[in-house]
Amino acid sequence: MRVSVLRGVGEVAVEERPIPQPGRGEVLVRIGSVGVCGSDVHYYEHGRIGPHVVDSPLILGHEAGGEVEALGLGVTSLASGQRVAVEPGVPCGNCPQCLAGRYNLCPDMRFFATPPYDGAFCEFVVMPTAFVHAVPDTVSDDAAGLLEPLSVGIWACRRGQVSAGSRVLITGAGPIGLVGVQSALAFGATEVWVSDVNPHRLELARQLGAIALDVSKRPIAEWDVEPDVLLECSGNAQATREAILTVARAGRVVLIGMGSNELPLPLPYVQNRELVLTGAFRYANTWPTAIALVASGRVDLDALVTGHYGLDDAEKALTAARRDPTTVKVIVRPGLVPRLDR
Amino acid sequence: MRVSVLRGVGEVAVEERPIPQPGRGEVLVRIGSVGVCGSDVHYYEHGRIGPHVVDSPLILGHEAGGEVEALGLGVTSLASGQRVAVEPGVPCGNCPQCLAGRYNLCPDMRFFATPPYDGAFCEFVVMPTAFVHAVPDTVSDDAAGLLEPLSVGIWACRRGQVSAGSRVLITGAGPIGLVGVQSALAFGATEVWVSDVNPHRLELARQLGAIALDVSKRPIAEWDVEPDVLLECSGNAQATREAILTVARAGRVVLIGMGSNELPLPLPYVQNRELVLTGAFRYANTWPTAIALVASGRVDLDALVTGHYGLDDAEKALTAARRDPTTVKVIVRPGLVPRLDR
Amino acid sequence: MRVSVLRGVGEVAVEERPIPQPGRGEVLVRIGSVGVCGSDVHYYEHGRIGPHVVDSPLILGHEAGGEVEALGLGVTSLASGQRVAVEPGVPCGNCPQCLAGRYNLCPDMRFFATPPYDGAFCEFVVMPTAFVHAVPDTVSDDAAGLLEPLSVGIWACRRGQVSAGSRVLITGAGPIGLVGVQSALAFGATEVWVSDVNPHRLELARQLGAIALDVSKRPIAEWDVEPDVLLECSGNAQATREAILTVARAGRVVLIGMGSNELPLPLPYVQNRELVLTGAFRYANTWPTAIALVASGRVDLDALVTGHYGLDDAEKALTAARRDPTTVKVIVRPGLVPRLDR
Amino acid sequence: MRVSVLRGVGEVAVEERPIPQPGRGEVLVRIGSVGVCGSDVHYYEHGRIGPHVVDSPLILGHEAGGEVEALGLGVTSLASGQRVAVEPGVPCGNCPQCLAGRYNLCPDMRFFATPPYDGAFCEFVVMPTAFVHAVPDTVSDDAAGLLEPLSVGIWACRRGQVSAGSRVLITGAGPIGLVGVQSALAFGATEVWVSDVNPHRLELARQLGAIALDVSKRPIAEWDVEPDVLLECSGNAQATREAILTVARAGRVVLIGMGSNELPLPLPYVQNRELVLTGAFRYANTWPTAIALVASGRVDLDALVTGHYGLDDAEKALTAARRDPTTVKVIVRPGLVPRLDR
């Protein structure tokens, strides 16, 4: 099969690899769509994310939808041809975190496109059935792939206890901020503010139902917001600090955006208001919810897609956001390129 | 002022009473709309509900909206003319339940239209400001009154942990079942089934976004439903039992409907699936959420109103449901009658 | 190896079976002690428990401690000779319940001594490492086995939210009631009442720190108890009903005792006080806690042991409670019998 | 009555004031014992704590036990002569925080010894009955006063979800750290580590059941601890940061110690492990638990007392810790001085 490989910083190329074979309890999935994530771009540009270093060729991509191509032994829950979304991490299943249902915290997680594990910029992947989720036809291939970032939004809302009537501030209107908007509304939030400096993204946030705060014009402290929940998606330490200082008593702060090694936490404010701060690291048990939200029309993931690329154009996909500020989410479709005879 | 008084079983009459005076921290509210609740009808028909016996004249009505007419000493949070919704119970504020935020369980609660406390079928009531909630103009007087039953739905959803993607079964499509539908959808439920035998009510449930199950045609066990949450609004012990037997593992059962003294609980099913059952007794801290849901358009309470009556016609209001099966929620408007000179 | 087999109602015999071989990720455990549970006795006396029918020879016993005899491929977390406790159920690991950390609700659980799965009245068992827990030398073999019933107590306390200062009523002073006492105290309960009619058991409850209520002398309603939490361990429907009627507002009821198909639930009481009722079905993620409690001296499981038997005397072990009312927990020790040469 | 007044930085003097009169629902409490808190010392030494400035004479002291001297109108829950503990803050009772049971977050809280509200270094105080808690004779006057700092420990354990088998690290072995030790053990923690540099305090921590970590000898990172819960009682930003880096996945961090305006939060660690951080600001609904723990012997508050002083010696009490490093908790007893004729 054809795969797109990150060979080094700024170097992506298409190669041929053997099609993997599904083992017992696994299926082979033909990839239809793969979303490009900021982490893919970061590996492409820097060759590492924190302790995760790309020191041998790596297939990027972890937001994947497609269809079941073949079944491993003993698989009865899925059928060949079934349209599916891929949950891109396989935890060990045996450690205390896994047994407690927090499999996202499994120290032995094998996660797509995180060295040394390959991702989904390729024609086929093999996955255990527990992480391959059937989707109805009302969910497009692109949306099936984007259930992954939606899962980040859902997980953040769960950790932040967003519920009916919640007032939510989302800092950063990138793809994660925007699925945050959609998730928060789907969880019943009745006021969702989004701060950013990019007018294109703020406009999209507005279209999705949020109140846009252009913090290039006025700092967050000067907007009249007092959220119950802050979903921090900017990764900017100073912006995070300022946003925390708007949160209501007993409010929750979910720290999603990465990038800062140290956050200058305004301790007395956190203490006196008993804010609850936590991280959101990937997600656990979110696909059923994500599928229900998209299938019921409460969340529109296709609205986030701003471009499609074939495998041969993976590099263009990885540089789209850098080249065009109106980019939100681009998709790689391995099937767009001519496939070699197998 | 004019008040409508329940003098005995089946006997309602209009009387004159002095306008009450607001004390420190209280306001005088001019009643605009009062919804008629099943409990009002029950007192009218039977003169009692369980241990609560009407043994002296009682003003019915506890679903009230209106506007602030006058302020007691020290009130600064509300202004004269402010449109408001009345939360119809005043807890003691000092007992362990109150201090823990569960004021609905206060043993010394003074609740509208529950002997010996009068309700709101009258022109004016006095309430402490903590239980008088300002509403925006997007919330009608009728809706302001119906925030009370909506609060029952919201409270039930909180106790049942309804969240994004939840599948919810509601047994009984009366007014509480219908606000349950609207609440469950507002909390993010993606499948809401409602069972009843009244086709008018099932049709309204359908219009509100639910899947209607006509259990006069097929028992609940034969419909293919496996809810995460059951909101029991029928008060029928046998229907409750059957509905419980559909609930998914680790599901929640909220027992709202009254009427049975004993519920034949299918114990092994509850145990093996670790269902969580609980009652929902009134509500606590729901008005801000209820107002946000109505003001944001997520819940439409006016859609439930099927009739309006003046104070002189309170008896007609109390018998409307008995006379007409298409009745859902009727409203008494004290202002519809000519007011005496004061 | 020698195994004790239940061949039919009231018929237990020792047989020879091949020693099982541990597969990848599994270990072979040499059984030191196995506690006899009421369910073992029930299978022995009736050949079934509810839908679970013994229709072919079954090895009983699921409360097992011992030591690691041999390692399967890839096992590094345990070493040969390590003393261990066996968690006697292996869930599928892939279903929604397992992935959510509620593996006790896995519909495909393979549980010791539950048809068709064999238990631990034998010399060796094979288990995946995730369910074989190392114990320190301060935990005896008997106690290692009895971590299983202790887990039931721990799980019940978690589901009932027992915490520092809780007042807990436990109905039934059998082995589960008694581990309930020890668990409740370990969770910080400051008042633990235990009701029973057996004076021997009540005396043991008293020694373990509980206040004994002899309900043969006075019904529960006449004792002055108002628990925050009820741990129902009697399995008697009428006793359960009466005990529920003592629970404080917002209290929790954990239904552990089996035996009734239907519980006559006092609905208005549950509703008006917003009690929370739930089942406790086995346990999940309890062994680390159980080991810490015993190793720290907070729980004394050896105090519950009233007799030891070899494999050849398994039948005597199964009938001990019937023969002697002072019996609490008896232990089968496969090593007490002469082992055949292997 | 005689009162001890803080007139300015470092200046405390005894004055005469009229005995206050209890109003409706209030009682007059004769103060038996008042613990000296670090905040009292801080006001004495600096004249302010953050935004709270002592700009007129202030009575210090908020850890008070005593007995009911007189009853206001309508009081039936307490009797004259009843021994009591005083919960030293009176919330408004009407704001969203109060109604939600989080009265510690009430913005209109009137709290003892916090400007402009006087405290309990005096012979009598008046309080509403809801905040005057009867204690049994097994609770000494000193212990009745020290239920206040114990409440801080209890609240911290609740917010940190300490439960049976928890492993808890407490940074700082001052009075709050030490009640933290006792609370954590009472909540069922099986390993409690305490870090400090003061050998006297570490020894006391050891006597109370903790494992003492002398971080003057070895930094926290080099001790082999991986707590589920961190109770931060040092108020030292750097120590807090280092301690956070030991917390287990999904662990909780309760930030109790004050003193830093900014905490350098190690963001990736918090995110990747999904730690939950929160403040503990005073407490809510803790006295019943505190009384039960002391009365049952699970917590020994008298063990923390290292000195007693009369009102005239309040200054000595406030400087005791500065003068003597073995000081833990000193008590002011207004009754130790000759009382004037009333």
Q: What is the pLDDT of residues B183-202, one digit of tens each?
A: 999 999 999 999 999 999 99
Q: Which two tokens stand for residue B21?
A: 């005076």
Chain D residues in contact with C186 by the CB 8 A cut-off are 164, 188
Assign domain C2-150+283-332 to its CATH superfamily: Medium-chain alcohol dehydrogenases, catalytic domain (3.90.180.10)
d(CA C274, CA B224): 30
Mark yes or no for CB contact B190/A154 under 8 Å.
no
Q: Is B183 on the interface with A (CB under 8 A)?
A: yes
Q: Is the pLDDT of residue B217 over 50?
A: yes
Specify which residues A212 forms β-bridges with.
A194
> Rounded mean pLDDT of C268-283?
98
| Contacting subunits of B (3+ beta carbon pairs below 8 A) | A, C, D
Cβ(D288)–Cβ(D133) below 8 Å: yes
pLDDT-based confidence at B336, cuts 50/70/90?
confident
Q: Is C263 on the interface with B (CB under 8 A)?
A: yes
Q: Is C235 helix (H, G, I), strand (E, B) or coil?
A: coil
Q: Tell me the pLDDT tens digit for each residue of B221-270.
A: 999 999 999 999 999 999 999 999 999 999 999 999 998 899 999 999 99
Q: Tell me the pLDDT tens digit for each residue of C116-131.
A: 999 999 999 999 999 9
Mark yes or no for CB contact B187/A288 under 8 Å.
no
pLDDT for residue B313: 96
> Can the peptide bond before residue B116 be classed as cis, meaning omega within 30 degrees of 0?
yes
Q: Residue C266's CB: how many other CB atoms inside 10 A?
A: 17
pLDDT for residue B337: 55
More confident residue, A340 or C198: C198
d(CA C134, CA C85): 6
d(CA A109, CA C10): 49
Tell me the percentage of chain B whose pLDDT exceeds 70.
98
| Dihedral, A153, A157, A160, A163 alpha carbons, nearest 10 | 160
Mark yes or no for CB contact B101/D102 under 8 Å.
yes
Q: Is C133 on the interface with D (CB under 8 A)?
A: no
Q: From the CA of C137, how many Å to the nearest CA of chain B?
A: 35
Chain C interface test: which of B98, B256, B260, B265 (most C C-beta within 10 Å): B265
Q: Is the pLDDT of residue D81 over 60?
A: yes
What residues have CB less than 8 Å from C20, skipping those under 6 apart? C28, C124, C125, C126
Q: Is the pLDDT of residue B2 over 90?
A: yes
Q: Is the pLDDT of residue A71 over 70?
A: yes
Chain A residues in contact with C94 by the CB 8 A cut-off are 25, 128-130
End-to-end CA distance of chain D: 8
Q: Tell me the pLDDT tens digit for each residue of A105-161.
A: 999 999 999 999 999 999 999 999 999 999 999 999 999 999 999 999 999 999 999
Query: Taking the complete model, does pTM exceed 0.95, yes or no?
Result: yes
Mark yes or no for CB contact D188/C296 under 8 Å.
no
CATH topology of domain A161-279: Rossmann fold (3.40.50)
d(CA B221, CA A321): 53
How many residue contacts between A and B have a Cβ separation below 8 Å?
A: 59
Q: Is B6 helix (H, G, I), strand (E, B) or coil?
A: strand
Q: Is B138 on the interface with A (CB under 8 A)?
A: no
Q: Tell me the pLDDT tens digit for each residue of D243-287.
A: 999 999 999 999 999 988 999 999 999 999 999 999 999 999 999
Q: From the CA of A157, how many Å to the nearest CA of chain B?
A: 9
Measure CB to CB from residue B164 to each of A165, A187, A190 and give the nearest one. Answer: A187
Q: Is the pLDDT of residue C341 over 70?
A: no
> Rounded mean pLDDT of C338-342?
44
What residues have CB less than 8 Å from C226, skipping those under 6 apart? C167, C246, C247, C248
Q: Is the pLDDT of residue A38 over 90?
A: yes
Mark yes or no for CB contact B271/C250 under 8 Å.
no
Q: Is A136 on the interface with C (CB under 8 A)?
A: no
Tell me the percentage of chain D whose pLDDT exceeds 90.
96
Chain A residues in contact with D279 by the CB 8 A cut-off are 267, 270-275
Q: Is the pLDDT of residue D342 over 60?
A: no
Q: What angle do CA C321, C327, C331 make, to 5 degrees?
A: 85
Q: Residue C269's CB: how many other CB atoms inside 10 A?
A: 16
pLDDT-based confidence at C342, cuts 50/70/90?
very low
Q: From the CA of D101, how many Å to the nearest CA of chain B?
A: 4
Residues 290-319 of B with CB under 8 A from C: none
d(CA B134, CA A166): 18
Q: Tell me the pLDDT tens digit for each residue of D125-180.
A: 999 999 999 999 999 999 999 999 999 999 999 999 999 999 999 999 999 999 99
Q: Tell me the pLDDT tens digit for each residue of C83-100.
A: 999 999 999 999 999 999
Q: From the CA of A230, how many Å to the nearest CA of chain D?
A: 14
d(CA A188, CA B214): 29
Q: Is A209 on the interface with B (CB under 8 A)?
A: no
Q: Tell me the pLDDT tens digit for each residue of A248-295.
A: 999 999 999 998 899 999 999 999 999 999 999 999 999 999 999 999
Q: Is the pLDDT of residue B342 over 80?
A: no
pLDDT for residue D337: 55
Q: From the CA of D43, how many Å to the nearest CA of chain C?
A: 33
Mark yes or no for CB contact D276/A277 under 8 Å.
yes
Cβ(A101)–Cβ(A108) below 8 Å: no
Chain C interface test: which of B267, B269, B281, B282 (most C C-beta within 10 Å): B267
pLDDT for residue C247: 98
Mark yes or no for CB contact A250/D159 under 8 Å.
no
Chain C interface test: which of D162, D249, D296 (most C C-beta within 10 Å): D296
pLDDT-based confidence at C260, cuts 50/70/90?
confident
> Rounded mean pLDDT of C269-279?
98
Cβ(A270)–Cβ(D265) below 8 Å: no
Q: From the CA of C164, how many Å to the nearest CA of chain D?
A: 5
Cβ(B331)–Cβ(B305) below 8 Å: yes
Q: Is the pLDDT of residue C337 over 70?
A: no
Q: Is the pLDDT of residue D39 over 50?
A: yes
d(CA C191, CA D291): 12
d(CA B80, CA B68): 5
What residues have CB less than 8 Å from C2, skipping those under 6 apart? C14, C15, C16, C17, C122, C123, C311, C334, C337, C339, C340
Shortest CA distance to A280 belongs to which of A161, A141, A124? A161
Q: Is B100 on the interface with C (CB under 8 A)?
A: yes
How many residue contacts between B and D have a Cβ separation below 8 Å?
A: 36
Chain A interface test: which of B187, B287, B296 (most A C-beta within 10 Å): B296
Chain B interface test: which of A158, A159, A296 (most B C-beta within 10 Å): A296
Q: Is the pLDDT of residue D336 over 90?
A: no
Chain A residues in contact with B163 by the CB 8 A cut-off are 158, 163, 187
Q: Residue C19's CB: how many other CB atoms inside 10 A?
A: 16
Mark yes or no for CB contact C293/D190 under 8 Å.
yes
Q: Is the pLDDT of residue D218 over 90?
A: yes
Q: Is A264 on the interface with D (CB under 8 A)?
A: yes
Shortest CA distance to C187 belongs to which of C203, C202, C167, C170? C167
Measure CB to CB from residue D101 to each of B94, B100, B130 and give the nearest one. Answer: B100
d(CA D148, CA D131): 12
Mark yes or no for CB contact C101/A102 under 8 Å.
yes
Long-range CB contacts for residues C112-116, cutoff 8 Å, separation at least 24 = C112/C61, C112/C62, C112/C64, C112/C86, C112/C88, C113/C39, C113/C40, C113/C43, C113/C58, C113/C59, C113/C60, C113/C61, C113/C62, C113/C88, C114/C52, C114/C62, C115/C52, C115/C53, C115/C54, C115/C55, C115/C56, C115/C58, C116/C56, C116/C58
Q: Is C137 exposed, middle or buried (0-12, 13-18, 19+ CB in 10 A)?
A: exposed
| Dihedral, A87, A88, A94, A97 alpha carbons, nearest 10 | -80
Q: How many CA atoms does the CB half-sphere of A92 hold within 13 Å? A: 15
Tell me the percentage of chain D whose pLDDT exceeds 70.
98
d(CA D247, CA B43): 58
> Rounded mean pLDDT of B324-330?
95
Shortest CA distance to A311 belongs to which of A100, A97, A26, A32? A32
Annotated domain spans of chain A: 2-150+283-332, 161-279
Cβ(A4)–Cβ(A90) below 8 Å: no
Looking at residue B106, the DSSP 8-state letter turns out to be -
pLDDT for residue B170: 98
Mean of the per-residue pLDDT values of chain B: 96
d(CA A172, CA A150): 15
> Rounded mean pLDDT of A155-176?
98
Q: Is the pLDDT of residue B84 over 70?
A: yes
Measure CB to CB from residue D258 to each of A237, A258, A271 and give the nearest one. Answer: A271
Mean of the per-residue pLDDT values of chain C: 96
pLDDT-based confidence at A337, cuts 50/70/90?
low
pLDDT for residue A339: 44
Mark yes or no for CB contact C130/A99 under 8 Å.
yes
d(CA B331, CA C335): 78
| Contacting subunits of A (3+ beta carbon pairs below 8 A) | B, C, D
| Contacting subunits of D (3+ beta carbon pairs below 8 A) | A, B, C
Phi, psi of C304 (to 5 degrees): -90, -10
Shortest CA distance to C246 belongs to which of C226, C218, C272? C226
Q: Is the pLDDT of residue D30 over 90?
A: yes
Q: How many CA atoms does the CB half-sphere of B284 hold within 13 Å? A: 25
What residues have CB less than 8 Å from C11, skipping those under 6 apart? none
pLDDT for residue D341: 43
Q: Is C219 on the interface with D (CB under 8 A)?
A: no
Mark yes or no for CB contact A262/D266 under 8 Å.
yes
Q: From the CA of A283, how many Å to the nearest CA of chain B?
A: 15
